[in-house]
Amino acid sequence: MTLADPLLKTGEFGPGDSEWLHLLVGDWQLVSDLAQGDLVLWFPQEFVGAQAADRLQGGPAEGTGFVGLAHVRPSTAQTVFHRDMVGQPMASDVVAGARDCWYEQTVHPLDRVDWNSESSMRVVVYPLVRNGRTIALLTVHHGLLSARMQGRLDTVFRETARELLSMVARGAWPDFSAPTGTSRGNPRVSDGVIRLDAEGRVTFASPNAVSVYRRLGFQGSLTGQFLAELTRDLLPSTGKADETLPLVLTGRMPWRSEIGTSRASVTFRAIPLRRQTRRGEERFGAILLCRDVTELRRRELELMTKDATIREIHHRVKNNLQTVSALLRLQARRMTSQEAREGLEQAMRRVATIAMVHEALSQGLTQSVDFDDLIGRQFRLAAEVASPGQAVSTEFTGHFGQLPSELATPLALIVNEIVANAVEHGLNGSSGTVGLDGCRTESEDGEPMLVVTISDDGVGMGDSYVEESGVSAYRPPSEGEGLGMQIVRTLVASELKGSIRWQPRPGGGTEVVITAFIPEDSAG
């Protein structure tokens, strides 16, 4: 059951109501941290429509209570619930007040509640009203035993939480226009909180927020300062500030922004505070969350630099391998011996195959390659080079997906060698078709595997089959077996940790089936 299912099943609430609840639950950690208490979202266990209940709006059936839809614990205080409240019924001591709250659409504070004999707590029940209808209830829970002397910080936090919860009850927050992304470095309550008035003047700054501005180079008191002007003076004159920054630092828009100086990088998030007046929703201030992300951005820059360096290395390796391939081609042309020329041409193709893998790695941000794209080109090229004067067609089926470089390089070499062998020996100078198929599967133990099948419709190998893996693959070459097949056997056993099987192809010809285990982090 998803969060929206109970609402949508009633037929009285629309997708907009359920989406708003999703926005609330996605962002209510902020409210829980400010309130320093648990928040629980509730919906009637049995919902009765407005007509059946003979009321202006639907609600809980007579004699029934509420069930928890979502639960969040504060990171700034101790939780009062050690079990998850999702799917749990509301305590009987609270149900009567909660029913009144649902229909009257007023806040109901309950000073002392023994919640199912778990612990004593203070509970405040808020109705969540949209378009004149209560769509759910929200309860805020504070433990009695954990009460302590409240300082200025606690007082401001809880006052701000009450103002936010008042907006939540009216459906005025969260705002659909606010960004919902979860980019790295988003500020939290524990990182730093600043209260602003309607003009953007600081009325309160938490100790962590003060520390953030110390790192930016400001040594005075933040209270009473116009934050947008103060922050602008801290920015380097040559730097470009985000155009949204003034709107964020004055609390006018529910947006996020980031600044960077030679000293520090800081992210900001603004939450305008509004109250209901005769003129509608009127902004009277804002909460500004700030976070020092200097170390986070430094590490991100290091990773970006590392990625760029690795791609450059792959690019240079590719260039060097292409140079080696070109030198082998030049040397092959000078050979008078046909055998020596063919040997150098085979070496050239092997080097070029490895170069293609490095070229693919140099163009991506990860150490994996799209093997379908790489091997598709290499497969056709290998068949064409090995079949001068023959009419050989190729068929590429299946799916390889993303493969790590340590698997892609040997597999590309193996496919190159077997395709060349299928054309030269399987088709034996005749026209025909060479096929390549890739299939991702799982072993009996559930490990991800790759099965590669290379086939030809040539002369075939009779009814016999050969399968090799592990130590047996390191044997000396048998009679009539060239260097290419020895390379294939060795790579399958040492690099792929798999097996290779030569067997008759149904309908004539030969099939070579290769199995390899895929590393877990590349099995997606």
Q: Position 110: which residue type?
A: L
pLDDT of amino acid 367: 67
Q: Which residue has the tokens 């399968």?
A: 467
Query: Domain spanning 5-169: which CATH class is it, in words?
Result: alpha beta
pLDDT of amino acid 314: 66
Cα dihedral 142, 148, 152, 156 in deg (nearest 10): 0
Q: Taking the domain 368-524, which CATH number applies?
A: 3.30.565.10
Q: Residues 123, 139: contact at Cβ < 8 Å?
A: yes
* Each residue's pLDDT expressed in tens, for the chain with a length of 524 residues: 577 788 888 888 888 899 999 999 999 999 999 999 999 999 999 999 877 667 788 899 988 999 999 999 999 898 999 899 999 999 988 999 999 999 999 999 998 888 876 678 899 999 999 988 999 999 999 987 655 556 889 899 999 999 999 999 999 999 877 766 555 668 999 999 999 999 999 999 999 999 999 999 999 999 999 999 999 988 887 666 677 899 999 999 999 998 888 888 899 999 999 998 888 889 999 999 999 998 887 887 776 666 666 667 767 777 777 787 777 777 777 788 877 876 777 777 777 777 766 676 666 655 677 888 878 877 877 777 666 667 788 889 888 888 887 788 888 888 888 888 888 777 877 888 889 999 988 888 888 889 999 998 888 877 777 777 666 666 666 666 677 777 788 888 888 888 888 888 888 888 989 998 887 655 55
pLDDT of amino acid 117: 67
Number of other residues whose CB lies within 10 A of the CB of residue 56: 10
Between vectors from CA 489 to CA 486 and to CA 494, what angle results, nearest 5°? Answer: 120
Pair of tokens at residue 470: 């592990």
Number of other residues whose CB lies within 10 A of the CB of residue 79: 17
pTM value? 0.64
pLDDT of amino acid 221: 94
Q: Which residue ranges make up each domain of the chain? A: 5-169, 189-292, 298-365, 368-524
For residues 370 and 390, what is the distance between their CA atoms, to the nearest angstrom? 30
Q: What are phi and psi of 438, to 5 degrees?
A: -120, 140
pLDDT of amino acid 165: 96
For residues 254 and 248, what is the distance between their CA atoms, to the nearest angstrom? 7
Q: Residues 124, 138: contact at Cβ < 8 Å?
A: no
pLDDT of amino acid 239: 60
Number of other residues whose CB lies within 10 A of the CB of residue 11: 10
5-169 and 368-524 share one fold? no
For residues 354 and 410, what is the distance between their CA atoms, to the nearest angstrom? 8
Helices (H), 173-256: 207-216, 227-234, 245-249
**CATH architecture for segment(s) 189-292:** 2-Layer Sandwich (3.30)
pLDDT of amino acid 495: 81
Please report, in angstroms and rounded to a whole number, the separation of the first and last CA atoms in the chain: 27
pLDDT of amino acid 458: 84
DSSP string computed for 407-463: HHHHHHHHHHHHHHHIIIIISTTS-EEEEEEEEEEE-TTS-EEEEEEEEE-SS--TT
